[in-house]
A and B are shown apart, each in its own frame.
Chain A
Amino acid sequence: MKAHLSRRYLFSASHRLHSDAMTDAENQVTYGKCNNPYGHGHNYIVEITVSGPVDEKTGMVCNLTDLDGFIEREVLARYDHENLNTLKDFARDVPTTENLCIQIYEILHRGFPHAHLERVRLEETMMNSFEFAGE
């Protein structure tokens, strides 16, 4: 029996949306308030969905200890209470929530062996969220 398991984690980080490929005026028009040079922050909620057969011995798709440990080490330790613009992950890409969502997907896709990654969903605020399923 194949099931999907989803787990949500919270982290807080700041960012500034600014593209070196645009003029200051273009940046201002494109990103509005988010272009404020000092940056601003969010409480992000990241929702990870993995899938797989339910193991008959454990009743689990994957052990939550493995998922929690991986997310703690590879995602939360990297992003929580950081300024995203200063991280090497965003040396080239603008730290929009789209790009952050893709980064988190790639981290899991590369490094999490215990279940199949279905989707990463990232809430920037209660009013907006982004999903990436590797497409």
Chain B
Amino acid sequence: MVYLTRKAEFSASHYYHNPDFSPEENRRVFGKCNNPNGHGHNYTLEVTVKGEVNPRSGFVVDLKQLKDVMHREVLDAMDHRFLNKEVPEFLHQIPTTENIAIAIWRRLETKLASAQLHRVRVYETPDLFVDFYGEA
């Protein structure tokens, strides 16, 4: 089994707000992130796939294909967007880094041809990142 990781970057804005919370509760729980006008990050996405090395190609996965899938399924939808308003998953769910990692996993999971998705890592900043392994 070999693991292969591909990186990509996207920039997006978001804010944290739960409509079931009072305004005070939203401010207390989410702090600065509750500003309704949103704020932005340069996200780094790392997608790790795993599989056996194909004896004919020497590849775990065709990198071009992986790159295309990441662009089509993730970057086209999220890059330079306001996540709360423009990405369907986040119309009714808070776009925390945790939920972004889960949403990206779901977007990619069924779209990979040969390899199996192992981990989605999303960096919100270089000092904060979330890993999702598809665990329930």
Which A positions have Cβ atoms within 8 angstroms of B?
A: 1-9, 49, 54, 57-61, 63-65
CB distance from A2 to the nearest CB of B (A): 4
In the complex, the answer to whether B129 meets A1 with C-beta atoms within 8 Å is no
* Smallest CB gap from B101: residue in A: A3
In the complex, the answer to whether B101 meets A59 with C-beta atoms within 8 Å is no
Does B29 belong to the interface (CB within 8 Å)? yes
B78: which A residues are within 8 A, CB to CB?
A: none
CB distance from B44 to the nearest CB of A (A): 13
**Cβ 8 A contact of B130, one of A3, A8, A9, A58:** A3
In the complex, the answer to whether B135 meets A2 with C-beta atoms within 8 Å is yes
**Given A1-B135, A2-B136, A59–B98 Cβ distance below 8 Å?**
yes
Q: B30-41 interface mask toward A, CB cutoff 8 Å, 1 = contact, 0 = none? A: 110000000000
In the complex, the answer to whether A5 meets B130 with C-beta atoms within 8 Å is yes
In the complex, what distance in Å separates the CA atom of A54 from the CA atom of B105? 14
* Smallest CB gap from B119: residue in A: A4
Does B93 belong to the interface (CB within 8 Å)? yes
In the complex, what distance in Å separates the CA atom of A54 from the CA atom of B20? 17
Does B65 belong to the interface (CB within 8 Å)? no
* Smallest CB gap from A58: residue in B: B29
In the complex, the answer to whether A9 meets B127 with C-beta atoms within 8 Å is yes
In the complex, what distance in Å separates the CA atom of A63 from the CA atom of B95? 14
Does B1 belong to the interface (CB within 8 Å)? no
A54: which B residues are within 8 A, CB to CB?
A: 96, 98-99, 102
In the complex, the answer to whether B96 meets A58 with C-beta atoms within 8 Å is yes
5 A-B pairs with the lowest CB-CB distances in the bound complex, closest first: A59-B94, A59-B96, A4-B131, A8-B127, A2-B135
Q: Which of B21, B94, B98 lies at the interface centre, i.e. has the most chain A CB atoms within 10 A of its CB?
A: B98
| Known contacts A57-B18, A59-B98, then 20 further A-B pairs from the complex at CB < 8 Å, ordered by chain A residue | A1-B102, A1-B132, A3-B98, A3-B101, A3-B102, A3-B130, A3-B131, A4-B131, A4-B133, A5-B98, A5-B130, A6-B128, A6-B129, A8-B126, A8-B127, A58-B18, A58-B30, A59-B93, A59-B96, A60-B96
A49: which B residues are within 8 A, CB to CB?
A: 131
In the complex, the answer to whether B132 meets A4 with C-beta atoms within 8 Å is yes
In the complex, the answer to whether B127 meets A58 with C-beta atoms within 8 Å is no
Does B43 belong to the interface (CB within 8 Å)? no
In the complex, the answer to whether B128 meets A8 with C-beta atoms within 8 Å is yes
In the complex, the answer to whether B130 meets A6 with C-beta atoms within 8 Å is yes
A-B contact pairs, 12 of them (CB 8 A): A1-B102, A1-B132, A3-B101, A3-B130, A3-B131, A3-B132, A4-B132, A7-B127, A7-B128, A57-B18, A61-B130, A65-B31
